[in-house]
Structure formats: structure tokens, C-alpha cells
Structure 1
Amino acid sequence: MMEAPERPFAELPGALVEELLNYTQALSKELGDEFYQIQNRRVRWREELRRESILGHVSSLPIGEIPTTSGIDGSYALERLLANDLAVVAALGVEGLTPPSETRHWPFPHHKVWIEIEPHESETGTLLRAIMMGLELILAAQAPHDVVLLDGSLTTPLIYFNQALNKRLEVPHLRTSLFLNDHMLEFLEAYATILTSSRSDHLWLAIPKYTTRREIASRLKWSTNHDDRALLSFILEPGELTFPTPLQNPSQPWHLNIEGLNDRNKSSLEQTVSHVTEALYNLQVVYYRPYSWMPALRIEMSRSVAENPYRLALAMQAIYFQSSAPAIMEPYPLYLADRMVKQLSSSIPALRQIISQHIAETYPGKIEEVFLGLHGYRTESGV
């Protein structure tokens, strides 16, 4: 069956579409000029990278066996109903392309999920985002693979946790708040495991799709508004990488507000938070362009991985082996996990309908009250 042709402007007024299209010529020229300027500076910038011993090639790293790999991603959805909010969180782990000599650890995707009905509160989404991140960290820490890939930056969980713990004090009555309270120590312990990557048989890498970081451009005093990933996508040849560079630290010290969390875990919480914040200062970043069809990938890792040539080689080999499909612009297991788990929000109407049917079977009042109370106005989703 033939698919219907796409009509991206079908629902917009004609005059609005015409004005949007009129802007494209000027925008195209502006972007084209920026790309041209980068190309003009490319040779000079490559020489500066060599002079500072930043530019390298994966062939300079030790050669080892192809590692087993998995990718972890998460999503949440918050359906605003008339009477309540329906909150759903999921983390999903997918095994990568299996090396010929290995058996599969995960024949099927692994997951963690949490679902709850909450009263209306504006801060529920902030709490759900932190729970999503916590479930991702636990799933990643438990993965049996040699190399585990996470979507996003290694610093993002601390930011999400801090935002949620501050908001939690305003809505302590929510079940979402109680869940965060009961599982925060578990989340942080998994986070510390990933940040340190101290196990010799496992390592964890974070690969954010979007970044504003400029560690290399700032170090070399390059005059440009582009972030490092954008610049290095133009500069690096296939197979080239930048050797590990310390992650750019924030202007304020890393911290986590654990005020009001479970008192019986206070000592363990404080100790784990200390491990986490200390490890954040030791993070390193590598940019690697495995193939000509891919942009440079920003890869964040612990110092224990970055400073060990054999572990760094294992990391790059995992990325190379999992990025061999030209149609996919990121490592295969991350792409697959992202595609799967992002369908969570589209499942909410079906869940709402099933809940409505269950209630209607025993509800003593008017049946229309059930469907009215569970009417969905909008779904907020997050990645």
C-alpha cells in the first residue's frame, strides 16, 4: 500500500507559510557563509590540534577483540486528565550488534517501568524526569556488556536530580515524591558506578546528541560561535579522534541537595553524593568520527577509561563496530533504544482507555462520568 504524501504545511494558513518560506533564502545564505568560514580555517585548525597533541587516529590505539555493547535510553509521559494526571516512566536497554564470537546477553530488550495516578501538580514532570534518569542509570549499571552506551551527558543526571529534589519539598504528598525518596540512594549508587567505571571488565560511555560544550575551542582560543561537536564534524577525517580532554566544569561547584530525604539512609546518601561529585570533576571527553557519513560523536567517560589505552581502545572499537550502518547517525543500540522508548507517549491513550474500561465494569454511577473524568487534554513527554 502506498503511503500518503507528506503535507507539512497543510494545517497552516497560506500567508503564514509564505512568510516562513520568504525567510529561508536569508537563513540559507547565513548558514552557508558560516560553513564556508569553517572550511577556510580547517587546515589551520587541524595543524593546531596536532601541535597541541589533541588530534589522533584510532589506529594508534591497541587492537583488541570486538566488545559486547548495549544502549540505554529513557522516556516519560504525563497525561493531563480532567480529574488526575497519569504518569508513566520507562527506561529501555537494547543489546548492540553481537560480535561473531559472542553469544547474546540480552536476546530481548530489558526495561524498567513506573506508572502512577497523581493529583494535578505543575512540578510532576520535573520529578518524572529524575525518576526516568534514575531508572536508566540502574539499568545501565546492571547491564552485563563490556561497553554500555548512555544517551545524553554524564552530567545530566545530577542536574535532573537536583531540580527534582528541590521541587520535591514543595509536593511531598505525591507518590512520585515518595518513590524518588525511597530510591534516590539506589539511583546515586548506580550513578557513582558509571561515573567511576572502576570495574576492569565493564565501562560506560555517554554520547549526547546535543551539546553546547566548547572545551577544545576554548582551550585553543578559536573564534567561533559553534560548539566543539559541530566544528570537529567538519575538521575530523573518518577514523580520527581527539585525545581525552577534561570536561568543562561549571562556574559553581557540583552539588546535590539531599535535604529532606530518608533519614535512615542519611550517612550512605552523603557518602555517595561525595563520590558522585568527586567523579564529575574527573570526567574526560573524546570526539570520534568513525565513518565519513557520521558527524563527530562526543563521548564522555571516566578518567579510569580515558587514561588507560586498552580501555580507551575498547571504547572506540565498540563505537566503530556499532556505527557501521550508513542510514543511522549514532551507534546502533542507542538508535534502537531511542526509537523504541520514545513510543511511550503514543501508548498513553491506549492505557487511558483500558483504565476507563476497568473502572466502567464496576462503577456504580453514570458511565459518562468515568469517560469525562479520564478525558485527556494533553500529553507532556520527555527524553
Structure 2
Amino acid sequence: MTAGGEFPDQTPFADLPAALVEEVLNQTATVADGLLASFQKIREDRNALRKKLEESGLVITESSLGYPPLPTTCATDGSYAIDRLLTIDLAAAAAVAVEGLTPPSEKRHWELPHHKTFIAAEPHLEDTATVLRAVMLGEELLLSTSAPHDVVMIDGTLTLPIIYFNQALNKVLDAKELRCSAEFLERCDKYLTAYLELLRSERSDKHYIALPKYSTRREIGTRLGWPTGHDDRGMLTLLLDPGEFTTPVELEHPRDSEGRVTWHLNTGNLPNESRKKVHDLANEIVFALQTVKVFYYKPHDWLPALRVEVAASVASNKHRLATVVQGLKHQCATPSMLEPYPIYLADRTAKALARAIPAFRQVTTQQVSERYNGDIGEVFFALHGYRSESGR
């Protein structure tokens, strides 16, 4: 809040030169013209694009799957934050799991959200965020696999863990003095085991689904020759009718010049005693990731199309696919949320961590000050914050 009692988002131009604001506002007219032309083009071509989509056989109505009993649901999300202080970094990460709307015939599994947290004073290192982020995501996966619900939603894509884990594996030896590095090394095999369980989804009573909000993927657009400037989710939001979804197709993967999938996990930096187990898990993960399927579903007319990534075992089973679709539809019950209810709640909870870090620092400063025998000013200098980093 500013001195005048206003919040920063209510006065976005307060600290900007007037000439800069005027110049940017003038440039927005050009941006608006370009967007308007693009929207009008899609609107004019919608019927032709819709017809081509129908002729491809990729559109299915939810009614064709039948109506299994409404599943219980939950969603997981995570966030991390680093407060860069004068002498140390205050690093924190949290993973949360939130239960969705409970079907009338079911009892709530959880009275309160479940969570995992990590907080530590770390030395100044550039790689702290990379390792801390992997710890956050690993705990999120562990919460997912331990949840007793029928459908577990993950906020993000199923390819994200292999990226974050590989980045951490590449950095962990150069950051051995970090407490989050020790945490990651100690629990790495558990994180990868949970990840593999998500990718396989072998239990018929447990369905893991990933729901990335932002995606540039074009698995369907590439097949149908859609304009390259439009990703699948944006285009299918306009083309799908409520209650329709697309046939699950293979996920796009990065490939080398010879067409081979390039996913990998660098396990060579791990200690000898855990390297063999993690190496075997890594190979299984890379194989399982190549079997993941993706489909788009539009539950209601007020929602954008949802991008849903699932294991092949779910996509190939009509009853399991119907369970996922019914679970999503039941959790998209109000136009005030443009995503499933538990994903919305988990996202709000996770985002709150970064906002709370300054308060955690103040509490820590007070506790140190109460027991410090020297000049208390030294404590406030040492724990003065200069920059904060956060992410999810």
C-alpha cells in the first residue's frame, strides 16, 4: 500500500515518466489493430476450420463415454521464493494439495489442505533457485501420489518435472553447500518414483492429469495445417462446442536431427550409492514420458478449452477417460473461475508463499535480535533484503 492508502495495482503509472506512458499508450493502438485483424480472420474462417476438425474424426462428445459415478478430486501446486539478504539468502518452498468439490455421495477425505514446506538460510549462490525449484516440484509429486482421491490434478505439464529435475542434477555438485541440495539428493529417488507413478497411472482407481494453463504446443494444429501463429488451446477454445473433447493424441517431444526423442536425466552427478537406482528410474521415466497422451476438453461455454495430459493407460480406457472428463466437468461449476475449482484453490495458496516471505524474514530478524549479544544494528544490516525471487 502506498502512502496515500492506495494499492500499487491501482496506480500502475505512478512511478513512470509521463512521456513514457504516453508513448506506450500510443503504441497500443498498433497492437490493437493487429489483434483485431487476427480475431476477425479466425472468426471468418471458423466454419471452415470447424468442418475440417470434424472431418478429421478428432472430435468426441462427452455423452459418448457414458456417465460413471462422480470421482473425488484434488489438485496440487507449489511455489518457491528467495529473499536475497546482505549476508545470506532466505530460501523457502512449499507444495500444497487441495481437495475439490465433494460429490454428494462421498465424504471429504481432507478437512484441511495438505502441504509440505522447506525453509533454510542459504549462502549466496546463483544456483539456489534451480535446486530449490526441484525440491518444490518433488514434494508436489509426492503429495500427488499420496492423495486418496480418484482424480489428482497437477497444475502444469507432465514434461516439467524432467526439465526441472535435470537442471537440478546438473547444478547440485556445484552447490553442495546448499541445504536444499542435500534435501534434493536425499529425496531424489522418491521424487523420481512418484514422477514415474504419475506417468504410468497403472492403478485403475487413481487418475493423474496435468493441466497446463499456458501452452504453445500444436499437436492438433500441425496435423490439420492450422496457421502457425495459433496454438492448439487458443484455437480449440473457439472451435469446440461445450461438452466436446478431442481424441487423445501423442504429446509433442523435442527431437534431434535424426528424429530421436532427446529427453534425458543426467544422473552422473549423483553419489555412487544412489546412482544405479536413480539411473534405472531415469530410463523408465524417459520411456514412460513418450507414451503420454493429450486431449482438449471444453466443459462449458464460459470456459476456455482445457489442455489435459494423461498417461496412455488412462487415454486408452473408455471408463477411465470418462471418469477424468466427469471429474473435470463437475469441478468447473462456476463462470467466476476459468479453471477447475481445486486447481484454482491450489494456485491461490501457492502464490501466497512469495507474498509471505517478507513476514517470515521479519520474524526471523526479531528472533535473532532477541538473542544477539552485540549491536542490534548489525542484525538489521545483515538481514536487510535487497531483492526477492519467486516462481512456481
TM-score bucket (shorter structure) = over 0.9
Q: Paired residue for 1:232, among 228, 233, 236?
A: 236
What is the rounded CA distance, in whole Å, between the counterparts of 1:209 and 1:23 in structure 2? Answer: 28
Q: Paired residue for 2:176, among 156, 165, 172?
A: 172
Summarize deviations over 1:252-273 as a string: whole Å, max 9, x none.
Answer: 4211001121322223212211
What is the rounded CA distance, in whole Å, between the counterparts of 2:348 and 2:369 in structure 1? Answer: 34
TM-score where L is the length of structure 1: 0.97
Aligned partner of residue 381 in structure 2, secondary structure? helix
Q: Are 1:141 and 1:190, in contact at CA under 8 Å, matched by a contact in 2?
A: yes
What is the rounded CA distance, in whole Å, between the counterparts of 1:251 and 1:22 in structure 2? Answer: 42
Residue equivalent to 1:292: 301
Which residues of structure 2 form unaligned runs of 5+?
257-261
Residue equivalent to 1:182: 186
Summarize deviations over 1:152-181 as a string: whole Å, max 9, x none.
Answer: 100001001111111112222222211111
What is the rounded CA distance, in whole Å, between the counterparts of 1:39 and 1:248 in structure 2? Answer: 27
**Within the alignment, does 1:278 sit opposite 2:287 as a pair?**
yes
Q: Are 1:49 and 1:55, in contact at CA under 8 Å, matched by a contact in 2?
A: yes
Residue equivalent to 2:220: 216
Q: Paired residue for 2:116, among 107, 112, 115?
A: 112
Write the mapping of 1:365-376 to structure 2, written as runs, cut at 5 A: 365-376=374-385
Q: How big is the shift at 1:123? A: 1.1
Residue equivalent to 1:32: 36
Q: Which moved more, 1:312-321 or 1:253-262?
A: 253-262
Summarize deviations over 1:67-115 as a string: whole Å, max 9, x none.
Answer: 0000100000000000000000000000000000000011100000011
What is the rounded CA distance, in whole Å, between the counterparts of 2:331 and 2:42 in structure 1? Answer: 29
Q: Are 1:182 and 1:262, in contact at CA under 8 Å, matched by a contact in 2?
A: no
What is the rounded CA distance, in whole Å, between the counterparts of 1:60 and 1:32 in structure 2? Answer: 37
Q: Are 1:46 and 1:55, in contact at CA under 8 Å, matched by a contact in 2?
A: no
What is the rounded CA distance, in whole Å, between the counterparts of 1:28 and 1:334 in structure 2? Answer: 31
Residue equivalent to 1:148: 152
What is the rounded CA distance, in whole Å, between the counterparts of 2:246 and 2:375 in structure 1? Answer: 66
Residue equivalent to 2:57: 53
Amino acid at match of 1:381: S
Distance 1:378 1:3, change over 3 A: closer
Q: Are 1:76 and 1:90, in contact at CA under 8 Å, matched by a contact in 2?
A: yes
**Within the alignment, does 1:197 sit opposite 2:201 as a pair?**
yes
Aligned partner of residue 267 in structure 2, secondary structure? coil
Q: Paired residue for 2:14, among 10, 13, 21?
A: 10
Amino acid at match of 2:299: P
Residue equivalent to 2:68: 64
Aligned partner of residue 269 in structure 2, secondary structure? coil
Write the mapping of 1:131-146 to structure 2, written as runs, cut at 5 A: 131-146=135-150
Residue equivalent to 2:165: 161
Residue equivalent to 1:379: 388
RMSD over aligned Cα atoms: 1.6
Amino acid at match of 1:351: F
Residue equivalent to 2:101: 97
TM-score where L is the length of structure 2: 0.95
Q: Paired residue for 1:360, among 342, 357, 369?
A: 369
**Within the alignment, does 1:304 sit opposite 2:322 as a pair?**
no
What is the rounded CA distance, in whole Å, between the counterparts of 1:260 and 1:224 in structure 2? Answer: 39
What is the rounded CA distance, in whole Å, between the counterparts of 1:246 and 1:42 in structure 2? Answer: 25
Aligned partner of residue 199 in structure 1, secondary structure? coil
Q: How big is the shift at 1:24? A: 1.6
What is the rounded CA distance, in whole Å, between the counterparts of 2:31 and 2:69 in structure 1? Answer: 47
Q: How big is the shift at 1:223? A: 2.6
Amino acid at match of 1:340: T
Q: How big is the shift at 1:2? A: 11
* Moved segments of 4+, more than 4 Å: 1-5
What is the rounded CA distance, in whole Å, between the counterparts of 2:300 and 2:16 in structure 1? Answer: 39
Write the mapping of 1:328-347 to structure 2, written as runs, cut at 5 A: 328-347=337-356
Q: How big is the shift at 1:3? A: 9.1
**Within the alignment, does 1:265 sit opposite 2:274 as a pair?**
yes
Residue equivalent to 2:333: 324
Which residues of structure 1 form unaligned runs of 5+?
none
Q: Which moved more, 1:195-204 or 1:356-365?
A: 356-365
Q: How big is the shift at 1:21? A: 1.0
What is the rounded CA distance, in whole Å, between the counterparts of 1:363 and 1:3 in structure 2? Answer: 36
What is the rounded CA distance, in whole Å, between the counterparts of 1:174 and 1:341 in structure 2? Answer: 23
Residue equivalent to 2:259: none
Q: Are 1:145 and 1:202, in contact at CA under 8 Å, matched by a contact in 2?
A: yes
Q: Are 1:290 and 1:323, in contact at CA under 8 Å, matched by a contact in 2?
A: yes
Say how many residue pairs are matched. Answer: 383
Q: Which moved more, 1:362-371 or 1:171-180?
A: 171-180
Aligned partner of residue 183 in structure 2, secondary structure? helix
Aligned partner of residue 93 in structure 2, secondary structure? strand
Q: Which moved more, 1:26-35 or 1:88-97?
A: 26-35
Aligned partner of residue 169 in structure 2, secondary structure? helix
Aligned partner of residue 126 in structure 2, secondary structure? coil
Distance 1:207 1:4, change over 3 A: closer
What is the rounded CA distance, in whole Å, between the counterparts of 1:68 and 1:248 in structure 2? Answer: 30
